[in-house]
Amino acid sequence: MVSKAIQTIHKRTVQSLHKKELMNALNLLQQLITETKINLFQDELVELEETYKQLLHYYLAGSNDPMRQKIFSKLIASGYEITDKIIIKFADGFAPSLYYAIRRTQAVHPESILKLTDSILSAYDIQNVAHAEFLTKQLFKTIWTSAFLREDEMNCLQDALLYRESPSDITGKPGAMTILNCQIVSALYLSLHTNFDKRKLQLLITAANSDDDEVKIRAYIATLITLIVYKQRLDSYPELKYRIDTFAEQAEFKKIVYFIILRFILARETEKITLRMKEEIVPEMLKLRPKTDPQKSKKDITFESIDFEMNPEWMEKFEKSDLGKKLEEFGRLQEEGADVMLFSFVHLKHFPFFEEISHWFLPFHSGLSFLSDTNVITSSLDIMTKVGLMCNSDLFSFYLSMMSFQDEGRQEVFQNFESQLLEWQQQQNANLVTNNDKTEKIIGHYIQDLYRFYKLYPRKNEFRDIFTLKLDFHNVPIIQRYFSDKNDLLNIAEYYLQKNYFKDALTIYNRLSDSFEGDEMLFQKKGYCLQMTDDYAGALDEYAKAEMINPDSKWLVRRMAQCYRSLKKPAKALDCYFHMEKLNKDNLSVLLNIGSCYLEMKNYTEALKYYFKLDYLDNENGKAWRPIAWCSFLMGKYEQARNYYLKILSSDPDYQDYTNAGHTEWALQQHRTAFDYYLKSVQALKNDYETFRKEFTKDIPELTAAGIPADEIPFMLDKINYSIRNQELA
């Protein structure tokens, strides 16, 4: 393990380079060499420092050097590279991660990128697919663990990425070069997340210009993530900035980036969707499956055991239950592109296949040598690949899971699934599939493949999880100016808003503020984002701007009232609700809120007036009963409070209702009745006495105001506690 001293020096060195404080960075680099005892780069550091001293000398002499900034950028870049080289060389000797284990093996038995690439192409030429696939795995590891590519290695990989291949067949299965280049792209991407290498990023940009959609989209995603991770370094590489500028000027650039942004926003929902599947969907499905083994745990419910054994007779039950609505919602999410399949496959990544790191990035196609040529499987998988039902990783999981079945069981699963597959295929054929559809599908699948790698790979802790980063590609300075179309940005902001990512939406709205000066809706949305992130004062500022344009917006006035109440300014909120009352006379919600504002202001008389009016207009639903009862208690009208609590307790009471009814009885000197209500409150909390006690303690000022002696309160609480304990012991 790297010592804390070395980690600290390394971190400070990188921060100094980010800040362009080169002298400080050079001093820290000297400390890093001393601490690690890696003297291999001492001469390089000395040369770097001498060059910088000369630059400073000529600057002080007043010389007008047009190359000064370019030289300085190159010196900063060199500082980054020496820092990376020292850390990698130091970790080579002991780091236990797979990356460094492979590097140590490579040091003893070196693999050549040039020879491996040539051997792979030769193996494909003679139809030795299995050997080509074996060598591709070796190439993946060699590229991944190469710290910095040489120029000849870069040229070799570039030739492969630019290789033009005829389609392998009319069905559109990816050919050999697609597989090879997808693996090259993923290896370059993974390598860049250990250390920065400008040649690898240049290769990704080259691949992003490929005619092969699978390769191109993967390279786009890999490039964008790399730009996020190293956004502070890019100013030091003008040649890269030029390449990226040229890349960003392509006609399809904004369209593809736009799709990628939306898919990464959706990827944030994956954990929530998976949790809902586990806690809501699966338990309900188990209730509807009479043949389910009661001993089967939730974690054993996998894709094949849920998705392919549904009985059509369930549909009537589904339509009448919450489960049906939830499944319909999940269907819409899947159509939108959300990852609803992770839960089904999370326990199907234990096969030896997934111990090989390159397999997590492998495009699925039925021509791979290690796949069975059993017709029933390959035909179904071909359809599933075409309709885009699963990402590549899940297709491999599905295949391996099916192969673990006995032949009869495998046949039964596919017979049950066949009609649904055919229906999906017919629907796919009937729909006019556009290039955008194809692009979105590839983007979605590769992001899902990445998500599974970072969340499920056995050695995932050795990698920085990119899904914990803020992947706001539209805000990366180097591409921001090319991604500034107002409509696109507004659409992204709306998508953030829809998914409740308010801070991200607000960043875009702030960016667009100058362009939409005087736009009521923009002010409203900015205010809403601020309100939902608990910045109520900031929200009111934006709402006030919108109010000047449209003072009679009911939505706006209601939101302003909510902010004032959150800021403990009930009088200000009351003004808003009075305004709403004029706009919407006798609105029940408005009446309730006016009463609540008066209650917060301790004006119980006025509060009761509005609560009684609400009760008169809406007596059947009893919306006003609770506030009337509590307000009556606070005013000392205990009999009136009791009458309303009796109504409440006869309908659908919660623990708070029992507590407040207990307070009322205690104020009426009915100690036993009060105790019984308190006991029911604790029982409503599933005997969680501690939660009851905390809530009860909040009401002590009101209890003492009602004449209950403060020194008697511990007696009541202890009596309740003893009673709960005795019930548990019994």
Model pLDDT for residues 119-138, shown as the tens digit of each residue: 999 999 998 999 999 999 99
Q: Is residue 407 very low, low, confident or very high in pLDDT (cuts 50, 70, 90)?
A: low
In this predicted structure, what is the pLDDT of residue 485? Answer: 76
Angle at 396 between CA 270 and CA 374, to 5 degrees: 145
Residues spanned by the domain of 728: 654-730
Shared-domain flag, residues 211 and 173:
yes
Kindly state whether residue 583 falls inside one of the protein's structural domains. Answer: no
pLDDT at 220 over 60: yes
What is the share, in percent, of the chain residues with pLDDT greater than 90?
A: 65
pLDDT at 175 over 90: no
Q: CA–CA separation, 706 vs 98, rounded Å?
A: 69
pLDDT at 167 over 50: no
More confidently predicted of 37 and 372: 37
Q: CA–CA separation, 122 vs 116, rounded Å?
A: 10
Q: Is residue 424 very low, low, confident or very high in pLDDT (cuts 50, 70, 90)?
A: low
pLDDT at 375 over 50: yes
In this predicted structure, what is the pLDDT of residue 558? Answer: 94
Domain boundary among 217, 250, 283: 250
pLDDT at 402 over 90: no
Kindly state whether residue 20 falls inside one of the protein's structural domains. Answer: yes
Q: Output the pTM of the full model.
A: 0.84
Kindly state whether residue 635 falls inside one of the protein's structural domains. Answer: no
Which one, of 136, 156, 146, lies nearest residue 110 by Cα? 146
Kindly state whether residue 481 falls inside one of the protein's structural domains. Answer: no
In this predicted structure, what is the pLDDT of residue 413? Answer: 63
Shared-domain flag, residues 282 and 420:
yes
Shared-domain flag, residues 120 and 89:
no
In this predicted structure, what is the pLDDT of residue 587? Answer: 86
Kindly state whether residue 496 falls inside one of the protein's structural domains. Answer: no
Contact 207/216 with Cβ under 8 angstroms? yes
* Furthest CA-CA distance within the chain: 97
Kindly state whether residue 500 falls inside one of the protein's structural domains. Answer: no
Q: Is residue 251 very low, low, confident or very high in pLDDT (cuts 50, 70, 90)?
A: confident
Q: CA–CA separation, 269 vs 327, rounded Å?
A: 16
Contact 39/23 with Cβ under 8 angstroms? no
Contact 92/103 with Cβ under 8 angstroms? yes
In this predicted structure, what is the pLDDT of residue 292? Answer: 42
Shared-domain flag, residues 158 and 235:
yes
Which of 217-226, 279-288, 385-394, 621-630 is predicted most confidently? 217-226
Q: CA–CA separation, 508 vs 492, rounded Å?
A: 8
331: its two tokens: 């269907």
Shared-domain flag, residues 277 and 180:
no
The predicted model gives 716-724 an average pLDDT of 92
Q: Is residue 652 very low, low, confident or very high in pLDDT (cuts 50, 70, 90)?
A: confident
Q: Count the domains in the chain.
A: 4
Q: CA–CA separation, 409 vs 467, rounded Å?
A: 37
Number of H helices, E strands in the chain: 39, 0
Q: CA–CA separation, 419 vs 427, rounded Å?
A: 12
Kindly state whether residue 707 falls inside one of the protein's structural domains. Answer: yes
In this predicted structure, what is the pLDDT of residue 368? Answer: 85
Which segments within 384-537 are labelled E, that is strand?
A: none
More confidently predicted of 516 and 353: 353
Crossing angle for the helix pair 392-403 and 435-456, to the nearest 10 degrees:
70
Shared-domain flag, residues 125 and 206:
yes
Q: CA–CA separation, 36 vs 531, rounded Å?
A: 50
Shared-domain flag, residues 315 and 396:
yes
Tell me the pLDDT tens digit for each residue of 557-567: 999 999 999 99
In this predicted structure, what is the pLDDT of residue 428? Answer: 57
Tell me the pLDDT tens digit for each residue of 482-496: 777 788 888 999 999
Domain boundary among 250, 282, 304: 250
3-class DSSP state for residue 551?
A: coil
For 432, phi then psi, to 5°, come to -85, 100
Cα 119 versus chain centre, distance: 40
Q: CA–CA separation, 510 vs 489, rounded Å?
A: 11
Q: CA–CA separation, 139 vs 453, rounded Å?
A: 19
Tell me the pLDDT tens digit for each residue of 150-163: 999 999 999 999 88
pLDDT at 299 over 50: no
Shared-domain flag, residues 298 and 336:
yes
In this predicted structure, what is the pLDDT of residue 145? Answer: 97
Contact 659/677 with Cβ under 8 angstroms? yes
In this predicted structure, what is the pLDDT of residue 273? Answer: 87
In this predicted structure, what is the pLDDT of residue 429? Answer: 58
Kindly state whether residue 637 falls inside one of the protein's structural domains. Answer: no
206-244 b/e (C-beta count within 10 Å ≥ 16 → b): bbbebebebbbbbbbbbbbbbbbbbeebbbbbeebeebb
More confidently predicted of 3 and 464: 464
DSSP state of 671: H
What is the share, in percent, of the chain residues with pLDDT greater than 70?
A: 86
DSSP state of 41: G
pLDDT at 338 over 90: no
In this predicted structure, what is the pLDDT of residue 280? Answer: 77
Shared-domain flag, residues 75 and 156:
no
Shared-domain flag, residues 385 and 461:
yes
Angle at 548 between CA 546 and CA 549, to 5 degrees: 70
More confidently predicted of 409 and 170: 409
- Comparing 130-144, 409-423, 540-554, 610-624, which segment has the lowest mean pLDDT? 409-423
283-311 b/e (C-beta count within 10 Å ≥ 16 → b): ebbeeebeeeeeeeeeeebbbbbbbeebe
In this predicted structure, what is the pLDDT of residue 406? Answer: 67
In this predicted structure, what is the pLDDT of residue 86? Answer: 96
Q: CA–CA separation, 343 vs 278, rounded Å?
A: 7
pLDDT at 99 over 50: yes
- Comparing 23-32, 407-416, 658-667, which segment has the lowest mean pLDDT? 407-416
The amino acid occupying position 102 is: I
Q: Which residue's structure tokens are 């899971």?
A: 401
Phi-psi category of residue 622: left, alpha or beta, with phi > 0 → left and psi -120 to 50 → alpha: left
pLDDT at 421 over 80: no
Shared-domain flag, residues 205 and 354:
no
In residues, how long is the chain?
A: 730
pLDDT at 675 over 50: yes
Shared-domain flag, residues 245 and 376:
no
The predicted model gives 457-462 an average pLDDT of 95
Task: State the average pLDDT for the chain.
Answer: 87
pLDDT at 312 over 70: no
Q: How far is CA 412 from CA 22, 291, 366, 407, 418, in A?
A: 68, 16, 21, 9, 10
Residues near 353 by Cβ (< 8 Å), separated by ≥ 6?
A: 359, 396, 400
DSSP-assigned states of every residue in 494-508:
HHHHHTT-HHHHHHH
